[in-house]
Chain A
Amino acid sequence: MRGTLIFAGSSCPTLTGKICENLGMAPADAELTQFSNGETSVRILTSVREKDVFVVQSGSPKINDTIMELLIMISACKGGSANKITAVLPYFPYSRQSKKKSHRGAITARMLANLLGVAGVKHVITVDLHASQMQGFFKCPVDNLHAEPLIARWIRHNVPNWKEAVVVSKNAGGTKRVTSLADALKLNFGMVTTDKKRGTNMTASMIMNHLDGIERHPLLDSISNQVRTNSSGPENGIPSADSGHSRPSRPVVDAQGSPRRANGPPLRTSNNARSPLTRAQTTLSQSSAIDELDEAELDGPEYNDRRAHEVTHGRLVQGHIVPDDFPSPATSAADASITEEDPMTMSHASSFFAPTHALGGTGADAPSSDEEEEILKNPKVEHMITLVGDVKNRTVFIVDDMIDKPGSWIAAAETVVKRGFAKKVYCIATHAVFGADCLEQMQACDCIDAIVVTNSYPIREDKARNASKLVVLDLSFLLAEAIRRNHYGESMSPLFLHMGD
């Protein structure tokens, strides 16, 4: 393309090469090195004056170096009088730190957005932002592309009997992403949710599945919370409150978005048990503040009384499903004694009682996967894992936006196979971060049949070679098309549409 230069950051020369190949041009010349003291050095070896410059940079294990390199490249191009600089970030770094999780935590994603602006970016192209609200952090336009059409197409072409499959979310926060894929493929969906279990209060006597509402915000955190505050035996199995309503309803949002009951009084029999005082006693401190925030946001005013029809429970010890007669690990006597000290938490708890929540909940409000993983790994704590939805003898797609740590994926896969009796399990994500030995662990897991990711985040070749289950979809066409359309001022909308084949 005339007047266009595409620079490759050191994190993703291969992806950039493919993008350039698609556009019929060569990547622009730049020398990226480090000084001996660790400072990043950038030399732009071709004139950028009055050019339309694109800088492609993904993530890498040395993420902060990668970011500095990107900022310095942008700054150098700006100093070299480039006409317009676009940052192409297939994986947006720090995207999981997009909100103030704890008191006095940083909103790093917003800071990074500001830094990009300061360096001289006029436009940002990215793929599947962890939270699409992050577009608002930027002063410049952001094109948040979706890998979903690509993934949906791959499923249609490569998965036998995909029409019988079920899309499963592995946590409550990611449910929105999952419903979107389920809608696109017109499939049923279900979800898996994990909750810490204490002592003997073992199961749910009442489980509600708040699917939907006008904006279709699954209020599934309530399941786990009910579990927490009830102490009847595990044998009850089917929610007792459900019996009053013996109307079996599908726990899944069906793809056509059929009308559903959004009326009816909120049947929260145990509301009293959720007073801040009681919570403080029963809540383990580790993630409670976050939980409460999430509930506050997820619990909208539009309760409905649809119940989960298919709710399956499992016990999770050290990240794996165990049989029901498995001896309970040293239950968290020590942990349980830690109660909330911070008075601020109370105000969060009380916000739960607020009549309405103006903004509603979003899929991005789940505890970050890192926190989740920490909880899963604690050997002293046994977890209750709950599967909502019928996956028996079906193929299951477990979907999230990124794969970083393996624990929750493996737990979800084991749940749908060992408890839900699913036939096959595909783990699908856009960003294949694969921290530590994540890929190896997922490869070794018998319950996972395939791992489907895109090349938005560079995957180490030696790792990929040893992972027979790994399928990498190529994003370069999508990104190349986005760059081309950007350069010529054409509409981006066709890139969001699902291809009809």
Chain B
Amino acid sequence: MSAEMANEIKLISGRSHPELSDKIAKRLGIEVARTISLNYSNQETSFTVGESVRDEDVFVIQSTATGDVNEGLMELLIIISACRTASARRITAVIPNFPYARQDKKDKSRAPISARLVANMLQTAGANHIVTVDLHASQIQGFFSVPVDNLYAEPSFLRYIRENFTSDECVIVSPDAGGAKRATSIADHLNTAFALIHKERPRPNVVGRMVLVGNVDDKIAILVDDMADTCGTLAKAAAVLKENGAKSVLALVTHGILSGGAIETLNNSVLTALVVTNTVPLGDKLERCPKIKVIDISPTIAEAIRRTHNGESVSYLFTHAPV
């Protein structure tokens, strides 16, 4: 079998989220590859793969830590480039939290479509395949000319809701019109009621007036969104839901970016809990905010890696969360 020894899974972890990489590696029953990653005194990133990746199936896991997005992105590009130069057979970038995903359209004159730039950069560096979780807009897949597997955290959320609540005591709420599809999908699966909050947004990261559409009276309102950044939206939406008679409000969010004053906002809000996945490293935020609960997304990513490597279908993961 020595001829088939090559082309194994090689898991390479960037520095942004080693915990996630370790979990994925554990799940796959392999070790994270030995690598050396450091910054020179002028802050340039330097990277070396410590073992051979020749003819191997390389998966590079790099999330983007809040506040260090560019560092993480450059490191990812350098890692991919290093593996390409080292004759890897295929390089898959596993980016649980795709950076610059919100800059995906030319919404103003001369606005950059940075998400497309990132897509081009990844391909230029040498990525053959992208695995990500809950892209802000699925159109971003079209920015790539290589395959993109957009995994969903939805099955994990569904399980969380089923384990903790009964379907008739809760109502799924989308905090904005854009997320309605995501929320209705969950509501359909659970067979629960659905509501929507319409908001006016004068500037990015600033939230205007909010109007509730639907009935949350005496129910547990579950807000669903793809990312929680400054949490201004979630806090205001929770307040609106409370005003409209909701028994309690919690939020299910895929990417807990939690930048700026998010922790203070959360602690001061009426939200009882913020449930996020571990796509983004949370650091000390768990200690600073007892409301944050974490769902482990690594089984889904690990399974996607295994299936991608073995050439099996990934679609099972769109509806099922591996245990």
Distance (Å) between the CB of B77 and the closest chain A CB? 6
- Asked if A35 and B205 make an inter-chain contact with CB atoms under 8 angstroms apart, the answer reads yes
Q: Which of B41, B44, B81, B204 contacts A35 (CB 8 A)?
A: B204
Given contact pairs A97-B44, A105-B46, a sample of 17 additional A-B residue pairs in the complex whose CB atoms are under 8 Å apart:
A37-B67, A61-B43, A62-B43, A63-B44, A64-B43, A76-B111, A104-B49, A105-B48, A105-B85, A106-B81, A107-B85, A108-B44, A111-B124, A115-B121, A118-B121, A404-B40, A436-B41
Contact of B67 among A38, A104, A435 (CB under 8 A): A38
On whether A48 and B110 interact (CB within 8 A), knowing A106-B85, A111-B77, the answer reads: yes
The complex places the Cα of A261 from the Cα of B251 at a distance, in Å, of: 81
Q: Report how far A107 CA is from B120 CA in the complex, Å.
A: 18
A59 to B43, CA, bound (A): 10
Contact of B70 among A64, A104, A119 (CB under 8 A): A64
Residues of B within 8 A of A48 (CB): 110
B22 CB-CB contact with A under 8 Å: no
A residues less than 8 Å from B44 (CB atoms): 63, 93-94, 96-97, 108
Residues of B within 8 A of A436 (CB): 41
Q: Return chain A residues, CB-CB under 8 Å to B167.
A: none
- Complex alpha-carbon distance, A72 and B100, angstroms: 11
* Chain-B contact segment, one of A39-47, A298-306, A357-365, A480-488: A39-47
B66: A residues at CB distance < 8 A: 37-38
Given A76-B110, A436-B41, A67:B117 Cβ within 8 A? no
Known contacts: A39-B100, A44-B110, A115-B121. The answer to whether A61 contacts B67 by CB under 8 A is no
Complex contact A104–B112 (CB within 8 A): no
Determine whether A370 belongs to the interface, using a CB cutoff of 8 Å to chain B: yes
Whole-angstrom distance between the Cβ of A445 and the nearest chain B Cβ: 18
- For the complex, give the distance between the alpha carbons of A72 and B43 in Å: 20
Shortest A307–chain B CB gap in Å is: 37
* B residues 66-104 in Cβ contact with A at 8 Å: 66-71, 73-75, 77-79, 81-83, 85-86, 99-100, 102-103
Which of B82, B103, B113 meets A39, CB within 8 Å? B103
The answer on a CB contact under 8 Å between A104 and B100 is: no
Flag A180-218 by CB within 8 Å of B: 1 or 0 each: 000000000000000000000000000000000000000
Is A339 part of the contact surface with B, judged by Cβ < 8 Å?
Answer: no
Given known A-B contacts A107-B85, A404-B41, A64 and B71 have beta carbons under 8 A apart: yes
A residues sitting closer than 8 Å to B (CB atoms) are 35-44, 47-48, 59, 61-65, 67-68, 71-73, 75-77, 79-80, 93-94, 96-97, 100, 102-108, 110-111, 114-115, 117-119, 370, 404-405, 433, 435-436, 438
Instruction: For the complex, give the distance between the alpha carbons of A316 and B135 in Å.
Output: 56
Residues in chain B near residue A75, CB distance under 8 A = 112-114, 116-117
Chain B window 203-243, contacts with chain A (Cβ cutoff 8 Å), 1 for yes, 0 for no: 01100000000000000000000000110000000000000
Given that A35-B205, A68-B74, A104-B53 are contacting pairs, would A43 and B110 also be in contact in the complex, using a CB cutoff of 8 Å?
A: yes
At the interface, yes or no: B257 with Cβ under 8 Å from chain A?
Answer: yes
Q: CB distance B229 to A36 under 8 Å? A: yes
Out of A65, A104, A111, A433, which one reaches B42, CB within 8 Å? A433
| CB of B260 within 8 Å of the partner chain | yes
Which residue of A62, A72, A103, A405 is within 8 Å of B86 (Cβ)?
Answer: A103
CB contacts (< 8 Å) of A63 on chain B: these are 42-44
A435 vs B64: C-alpha distance when bound (angstroms): 26
Q: How far is the CA of A405 from the CA of B42 in the complex (A)?
A: 9
Q: When the two chains form the complex, which single residue of B48, B50, B117 contacts A119, counting CB atoms closer than 8 Å?
A: B117
- A76 B112 Cβ-Cβ under 8 A: yes
Q: Are A59 and B71 in contact (CB under 8 A)?
A: no
Query: With A35-B204, A404-B42 in contact, is A106–B47 under 8 Å at CB?
Result: yes
Report Cα–Cα, A108/B111, bound state, in Å: 28
- A-B contacts, 21 of them at CB < 8 A, read A36-B260, A38-B66, A39-B70, A63-B43, A64-B73, A65-B71, A67-B70, A79-B110, A80-B109, A102-B48, A103-B48, A104-B82, A104-B83, A106-B81, A106-B82, A108-B44, A111-B125, A114-B124, A119-B117, A119-B120, A370-B46
Q: Answer yes or no: B248 CB below 8 A from chain A CBs.
A: no
Known A65-B70, A68-B73; contact A370-B120, beta-carbon cutoff 8 A:
no
- With a cutoff of 8 Å between Cβ atoms, the chain B residues found around residue A47 in the complex are 109-110
B41 and A370 contacting across the interface, CB-CB below 8 Å = yes
Structural contact, A435 and B42, CB atoms closer than 8 A: yes
Given A43-B111, A79-B110, A111-B78, the answer on whether A64 and B52 have CB atoms closer than 8 Å is: no
